[in-house]
Chain A
Amino acid sequence: MFRIMWYAMAFAVAALPAQAQESDTAKMREELRQLQQRLQQLEKRLEQAESTATQAAVQASSRPQTESALNPGVSVILNGVYGNFSRDPNTYRLNGFVPTMGDVAAGRRGLSLGESELAFMSNIDHMFRGTLIASISPDNSSIDVEEGYIQTIGLSHGFTIKAGRFFSAVGYQNQVHAHAWDFADTPLAMKVFLGNQLNEDGIQFKWVAPTDLYFDAGVEFGRGRQFPSGVDRNKNGFGSTNLFTHLGGDLGQSIAWQTGLSHLRTSPQDRAYDDVDSAGAAVTNSFTGKSRLWVLDGVLKWAPNGNPTYNNFKLQGEYFRRNEDGNLTFDTAGAALTDGLSSRQSGWYLQAVYQFLPQWRFGYRYDRLDSGTTNIGLVDSGALSAADFPVLGGYNPKRNTAMIDWNPSEFSRIRLQFARDYSRLNQPDNQLLLQYIVSLGAHGAHKF
């Protein structure tokens, strides 16, 4: 546009004197030459100005919009539940298995606010990235650190080190945050073997192999602050060790898979649980010994051509196996009888979730636990009877769960879940949960 104007002006200026002084062609040529020169200079300046303007526009269009551009990413998870249980959730227990120390019930009756999550995450510098995820309990207004860790981003050759409090890499779902679960609660196996979800204070070393097929291996050393470890140890060494490895890849365009094997080793010390003895009196028993847990997990995801937007399918399963050997003390506050205890127990679940329409998914989960063999020295020796350890009596809990959820956007989910739960001996529980989960703020990235 400008260029054409310049040419037109130059032509007019050049043409006028040409008509006036036809004879002096040499002078005219000289003037024309000068004009051309000036024109070129102007063009050059225009070009420079244009490129400066473009650069400025590129910078302006890329500049962070606010003063707080360096604040960490912040996100908030809100959730609320309506629960309808045919059995009192306060009496919830899983028969056949040692009660874990936390609350593992599926929820509460009526309307309640779930735990709200507050997450901060950011790169710290070129070496580290930091994450803090706090959960705010709605009732006693306590704030728990769910995860608070730093991890390296500055290491090479596939190594990553994580330190702080984090969800342990034992099994698959244990590392997934509650808001990203496909069902409202944890599988029964996670309730009995990990006390719902295991987050350790510790350090994790992980290595990813330089192969196109994904392979990683790692080790975690933990404080042992939670079940299965037991009470806080007041000890300089490690309270728990977890070894893990994963293998994963794609099958064509549409299928991605991952399997994992993990081994959690702890030595519980005075791990207490409450029970009722044969006379009907409340007693507290405690276990000291070794606990060895193996978990085999697998996930398979399918989406047509790898595009999950419209339809997708996810199959997930885990198998847990635990051996415990040590001593059991009966009625720590009273009789305080101690003898050996050994148990071999296992459990598994398999779940499938299908997105049949954009925004709509349904899923089904089957849980099964096997209380296996439990040898109680105090019973074998005849000092006490099996009726003194009702919780440890053989029983295989199972549960069927179905859910349907609606996801108006990536940031909100409304879920209806129904479960028929045989966790308690001979007492099936019908559990209905209606739940919303939303996330505000920074767009989170979810693990595979």
Chain B
Amino acid sequence: MKTLLKLLLAIGAVLLAWPAAAALNVFACEPEWGALAQELGGDRVSVFSATTALQDPHRIEARPSLIARIRNADLVVCSGSELEVGWLPLLLTQSGNDRIQPGSPGFLEASQYVVKLEIPKVIDRALGDIHPAGNPHIHLDPRNIAKVAEVLTGRLVELDHANAELYKTRADAFARRWQPALESWTKRAAPLKGVPLVVYHKDMSYFINWSGMREAGALEPRPGIPPTPSHLADLVERMQRNPAKVIVYSPYNNPRAAEFLSERAKIPDVLLPFTVGGTEKAKDLFGLFDDTIDRLLATVK
């Protein structure tokens, strides 16, 4: 027993003595923040994304592999507003890492820095798994990406002061690419204005708000509750009276409900990337918006 303890202590001592990795370790809760950190940090950051586009960020297991990653993180970037409430708090308490606890510069909740939509006036679980602090899926408004980029740059500079100039230069370069891209998306998305759409989950609200589209219904009867036959039948009926132009869903949604409604109501359905990596073309944040708008335009036409 004593030898085992000694061995453990010895291993611990060796690991503690390892030189800190040169790059800043960024733990992103969602792929969009991972992509943004990569844009801003370049090779000075080593980015790990806790989720992929195929995973529902609400429902993630606090897996050992995630604890192992967050234990070494210098910066945690998440959407916040309780999107990750089912797993992130556990990772934080298990991490043994004081640099990334809430309140420290290593913990960034992106949704705290933008104007949030859909802050519920009535908070009651009978309404579904609602987020009391407002809709957390803020990243599909390209203006929000620009705002979070500023905050994130500030954090990178604060945490890795030696490379401050590099981060600032990269942030400028990103802004110089993002601004014209944003203008071109605004122009291209103009035909989407006022177009009614059916969403799967309320995760498109910021895009809808930015593009001026109109939400005509949701496949989930209540946020977080999977589509039920009776709700779908109800939707079919509503679509006959006030047809939407398109039904959208994310890579982590089961397409069956969207296909069902599409068939019955004769409304085209389309998979949107939702986040970086969600489709072939959504390789980075630019591709994400390009592809989202392209797919919508192609379907709505």
- Chain A residues at the B interface, C-beta cutoff of 8 Å: 54, 57-58, 61-62, 64-65, 123, 126, 129, 151, 153-160, 206-215, 217, 219, 243, 246-250, 253, 256-258, 301, 303, 305-310, 358-359, 408-411, 440, 443-448
> A249 to B61, alpha carbons, bound, how many Å?
12
Q: Which residues of A contact B64 (CB under 8 A)?
A: 214, 246-249, 256-258, 448
| CA gap between A247 and B133 in the complex, in Å | 36
Whether the pair A208, B94 counts as a contact (CB closer than 8 A) is yes
Is A305 within 8 A of B52, CB to CB? yes
Contact between A445 and B102 (Cβ–Cβ < 8 Å)?
no
* Contact in complex: A208, B95 (CB < 8 Å): yes
**Interface contact B65-A214, CB-CB below 8 Å:** yes
A62 to B69 CA separation, bound complex (whole angstroms): 28
Task: Establish whether residues A307 and B67, one from each chain, have CB atoms under 8 Å apart when the complex forms.
Answer: no
**Inter-chain contact B98/A445, CB cutoff 8 Å:** no
Are B52's CB and A214's CB within 8 A?
no
**Which residues on A sit within 8 Å (CB–CB) of B237?**
none
Task: Select from chain B the residue with minimum beta-carbon distance to A442.
Answer: B85
Write out the residue numbers on chain A whose beta carbons fall within 8 Å of the beta carbon of B99.
Answer: 156
Question: How far does the Cβ of A408 sit from chain B's closest Cβ, in whole Å?
Answer: 8
CA distance in complex: A208, B56 (Å)? 27
- Smallest beta-carbon distance B92→chain A, Å: 7
Does A250 contact B89, Cβ atoms closer than 8 Å? no
Contact A309 B62, CB 8 Å, known A155-B98, A210-B18, A214-B67: no
Return chain A residues, CB-CB under 8 Å to B134: 61-62
Distance A207 CA – B60 CA, assembled complex (angstroms): 23
Q: Pick from B15, B252, B254: contact of A210, CB below 8 A.
A: B15
- Evaluate contact between B71 and A208: CB separation under 8 angstroms: yes
Contact B252 A58 (CB under 8 A): no
Verify B82–A58 contact, CB threshold 8 A: no
Given contacts A214-B67, A410-B129, contact A446 B62 (CB under 8 A): yes
Nearest residue in A to B256 (C-beta to C-beta)? Answer: A310
The reply to whether B133 and A62 contact each other, CB–CB distance below 8 Å, is yes
Asked if A210 contacts B115 (CB within 8 A), the reply is no
User: A61 to B11, alpha carbons, bound, how many Å?
Assistant: 48
CA distance A155 to B96 in the complex (A): 6
B98 to A154, Cβ gap below 8 A? yes
Among residues of B, the one whose C-beta sits closest to the C-beta of A258 is B64
Question: Are A409 and B224 in touch, CB under 8 angstroms?
Answer: yes
Bound complex: CA A215 to CA B12 (Å): 11
Output the least CB separation between B243 and chain A (Å).
27
Least distance between A77 CB and chain B CB atoms (Å): 14
**Judging by beta carbons under 8 Å apart, are A157 and B16 in contact?**
yes
Question: Are B116 and A61 in contact, CB atoms less than 8 angstroms apart?
Answer: yes
Residue of A nearest to B92 (CB): A153
In the complex, which residues of chain B have a beta carbon less than 8 angstroms from the beta carbon of A153? 92-93, 98, 101
- Point out the residue from B12, B56, B94 that lies within 8 Å of A160, measured CB to CB: B94
As a 0/1 sequence over residues 64 to 76 of chain B, the CB contacts with chain A under 8 angstroms (1 = contact) are 1101110110000
What CA separation (Å) do A409 and B129 show in the bound complex?
8
4 new A-B contacts at CB < 8 Å, known A61-B114, A61-B115, A61-B119? A126-B98, A160-B93, A256-B64, A443-B82
**What separation, in Å, do the CA atoms of A219 and B5 have in the docked complex?**
10
> Looking at the complex, which one of A126, A219, A246, A448 makes contact with B103 (CB distance below 8 Å)?
A126
B68-A208 in contact (CB<8A): yes
> CA–CA, A327 to B40, complex, Å?
69
Determine if B115 and A58 form an interchain contact, defined as CB atoms under 8 angstroms apart: yes
Docked-complex contact B98 and A213, CB < 8 angstroms: no
B8 at the interface (CB under 8 A from A): yes
Q: In the complex the two chains form, is A217's CB within 8 Å of B115's CB?
A: no
Q: Which of B16, B65, B87 contacts A445 (CB 8 A)?
A: B87
Interface hits, B153-198 → A, CB 8 Å: none
Residue B125 is within 8 A (CB to CB) of chain A in the complex: yes
A72 to chain B minimum Cβ distance, whole angstroms, is 13
A409 to B225, Cβ gap below 8 A? yes
Query: Which chain A residue lies CB-closest to B252?
Result: A307
Given the complex of chains A and B, what is the CA–CA distance between A64 and B224 in angstroms?
Answer: 23
Across-interface contacts of B225 in A (CB, < 8 A)? 408-409
Decide if A151 touches B93 in the complex (CB within 8 Å): yes
Contacts of A258 in B (CB 8 A): 64
Known A-B contacts A58-B115, A359-B226, A445-B87; the reply to A214 vs B68 at CB < 8 A is yes
**Contact indicator A445/B62 (Cβ below 8 Å):** yes
- Given the complex, which residues of A lie within 8 Å of B86, measured CB to CB? 410, 443-446
B123 to chain A, nearest CB (A): 8
Residues of B within 8 A of A257 (CB): 64
Residue of B with least CB distance to A307: B55
Q: Do the beta carbons of A305 and B65 come within 8 Å of each other?
A: no
A54–B115 touching, CB < 8 Å: yes
Q: Which residues on A sit within 8 Å (CB–CB) of B102?
A: 123
Q: Chain A contacts of B60 at CB under 8 A?
A: 306
Among B93, B102, B114, B128, find the residue whose CB has the most chain A CB atoms closer than 10 A. B93
Q: List 10 A-B contacts (CB under 8 A).
A: A58-B115, A158-B95, A210-B15, A211-B15, A213-B65, A243-B1, A256-B65, A257-B64, A443-B85, A445-B86
**Which residues of B lie under 8 Å from residue A129 when comparing CB positions?**
93
**Could you tell me if A212 and B65 are in contact, using CB atoms closer than 8 angstroms?**
yes
Give the residue name and chain of the B residue nearest to A259 (CB).
B64
Q: How far is the CB of B142 from chain A (nearest CB, A)?
A: 16
Give the shortest distance, in Å, between A167 (CB) and chain B (any CB).
15
In the bound assembly, the distance between CA atoms of A445 and B94 in angstroms comes to 12
| Max count, chain B CB within 10 A of own CB: residue among A62, A126, A308, A410 | A62
Interface string of B106-132 (1 = CB under 8 A from A): 000001111110010001010011001
Partner of A306, one of B11, B18, B52, B71: B52
How distant is the Cα of A341 from the Cα of B77 in the complex, in angstroms? 58
B23 touches A (CB below 8 Å): no
Minimal Cβ-Cβ distance residue in B for A251: B65
Residues in B neighbouring A155, C-beta threshold 8 A: 96, 98
Tell whether A253 pairs with B63 under 8 Å between CB atoms, given A58-B115, A155-B98, A217-B8. Answer: no
CB pair A448 B61 closer than 8 Å = yes
Distance A79 CA – B119 CA, assembled complex (angstroms):
31
**Is the CB–CB distance between A445 and B90 below 8 Å?**
yes
